[in-house]
Structures are given as structure tokens and as C-alpha cells.
Amino acid sequence: MSANELKYYLIAGEASGDLHASHLMAALKRRSPELRFRGWGGERMEAQGMELVTHYHSMNFMGFFEVAANIWSILGLMRQCKSDLLSYKPDVLVLIDYPGFNLRMAEFAHKHGIRVVYYISPQVWAWKKNRIVKIRKFVDQMLVILPFEKDFYAENGMEVEFVGHPLLDELQSMTFPSRVDFLARHELDDRPIIALLPGSRSSEIKTLLPTMTSLASHYPNYQLVIAGRTGMEYPPDDCQSVSLVRDHTYALVHHAEVAVVASGTATLETALLGTPQVVGYWMNPISFYLAKSMIQIKYIALVNLICDREVVTELIQNRFTRQHLIREIDQLLEPKRRDHVAAEYAQLRVLLGDGGASERAAGCILGEKEAG
């Protein structure tokens, strides 16, 4: 079998992984058009020609309590994935983030002689640092997207490749409809927009959205709009006083005055789109207590982690309240604060470096050295 006919198996366990994996697949196909793809992910990966085995919606478990409550489902998914890997017999397994699941698949694949590539490192610099032992043992090639990760791995005895952040390419290549067209297309009125991004997991939507939508009565001169996704359910009670726009998150954030964002990749996306934001999160108290005892970082928002300072305000657990959100949003609507945020976002872009992450990652995987 020639290099162009190699079989690739990819696993992405959430929406951001689906996005980044789809761009990686496109870059791989540009170099080797005959590559074959199968795996776990979402619509974006499927659109690039991947034979979709399981949708990431089936894998959305976050937090210790949530994982424990769904342990039998998770173990069943792992057995299914292992069986499918053996049946498909890929030449390369490409894992995208999602470490709780993917590191187990890395170990399984390694034991069965399958080459393992990890694209977008688990956040071992934040917690579960002992995972580096498994990564060194079972991962053949690690491709990282955050500038400080290469030095972190080097300090822990592992050489990795920094390819840059794929969001730079995703956002720089996008064009957005005019504000008038966007409002008309989604049946919104002419008031300024406050965007609500409650996350991509059902557990996040359930816990974060009620507090977000409670802001509507305080901002009658603004329209609150939920950034929704196809396939996800949003409680009717939470949507009565706000609007819902599905599958057009980037355009929504682009046209918003302010965004309230669940901690995750969306915080970085919002920053790169230039929209002032306040970051919030809440999880089961037991899960939070256990996570806090193990996490070794000062911030949870990617923007703050990359800049190593609080660029965006984080409202976590008991601080994630209607009162605190109102205070932060009011400040973000002030011109002076908005100018300050814009300057901080500009520094963030400098730290992330040039675009071209997906192309560099594809080159590394195919043995064409391009990364730094």
C-alpha cells in the first residue's frame, strides 16, 4: 500500500475537536488525496469524507461526578472504539484533545502496533501531570498548539512539535454577512446584541444557561441571543425571553457588543473575533472540589492562560451569578474598557504566532518537517 492509500482513524470528542480535525483532514487530503478516513467526531469531519462511526454528542461527559454517573456508558463506548479499531486496522490513529478517552485509545493502539499521533495536547500542564508518562510511552508524535507547551514538554523529557493555533486560520478565512443581513436572516430586531455561549455539552447548557438568560430583564435595550448548535436541546423556559441562533456562532459573536462565554475554546474564539467577553463556569460542587485540588494553574480561560494574566474576567462557581454578570457586562459596555480589551486581544494574537497550523500539522504527520 502506498503512502497515499494509508488508512487514518481519527477521534474527536467535542465540537472544537471536530472543527480542528476537519481542517487537518483537508490539509492531509491536499497533500495525499487518496487517504482514507474513519473515526469518531461530528459533521465537519464527516463533510471532509470521514466515515463517521460515532458522533461526539454521545461522548459529552464533563467533570468527576458526571463521568462517574455515566461510567457504564463510557466503558461501553471504549469497548466499541477498541473493537472498531481492530476491525478497521488503520495505519495511523490521530487523537484530537479529549484526553480521558483518547489516552486509553493511545495505549490500546500502541499495544496493537498502530502509529499514534496526538494533535492538540491534553492540558497536562494544568492538571494530571502524570499523564506525561503515558504520552511518552504510547504517543509516537505530539503536535501542540499553544506557544508554551513545547517548553513544558521539553522540561519533562519529551520532544514535541509546535504547529500554531488552528483557530487563526479558521477565523482569518471567514467572511461574515452584514449586520443588517444577519439580523434579517435570523429574525432578530435592531437592538445591540449580547451573545450567550453556554457551551457544547448538555450538562453545561443545563447549568449555565438559566443564569445567562436571567440577564434579559436587566437589558431591555439589548437583545440576548443564544449561540446554539444543531442536535442540542435548549430548555424552552430559558428561550422565552431571548433568541436562539443555531450553527452561526462566529457571525453572532462578530456582531455582538458583548459575549457571556462558558469556559473552553469559545473564550479564545471570542477573543480572536474581537468581542469583549466575561467568562463563566459552574459544575457539580464535588467535581469542582476535586478538580480544584488537582489543577495547577491560575486561570481557566484560555485567553488568560496564554497571556498569563487576567485579560478577561472569570466568574467561576459561586461567582457565576446574575449580579456579578451584570457588573462585568456594564463595564464591558464602557468605551474605555472596550479599548483596553482590544489592546489585550492584539497582544494575544502576537503570542499565538502565524497561521498555517493545519498545514504544518499535516506536514509533520506525513513526514514533511514544517513545525517549530
152-162 pLDDT, tens per residue?
A: 999 999 999 99
Per-residue pLDDT in tens (0 to 9) along the chain, 372 residues: 455 579 999 999 888 899 999 999 999 999 999 999 999 999 999 999 999 999 998 766 555 445 555 665 778 889 999 999 999 999 999 999 988 899 999 999 999 999 999 999 988 876 667 789 999 999 999 999 998 899 999 999 999 999 999 999 888 888 999 999 999 999 999 999 999 999 988 888 999 999 999 999 999 999 999 999 888 888 877 777 899 999 999 999 999 999 999 998 899 999 999 999 999 998 766 666 656 656 667 888 989 999 999 999 999 999 999 999 999 999 999 999 999 999 999 999 988 888 899 999 999 999 986 555
Contact 156, 322 (CB under 8 A): no
293-308 burial: b if 16+ Cβ within 10 Å, else e: eeeeeebbbbbbbbbe
Domains of the chain, with CATH numbers? 3-164+356-365 (3.40.50.2000), 172-352 (3.40.50.2000)
pTM of the model: 0.77
pLDDT above 90 as % of the chain: 68
pLDDT above 70 as % of the chain: 90
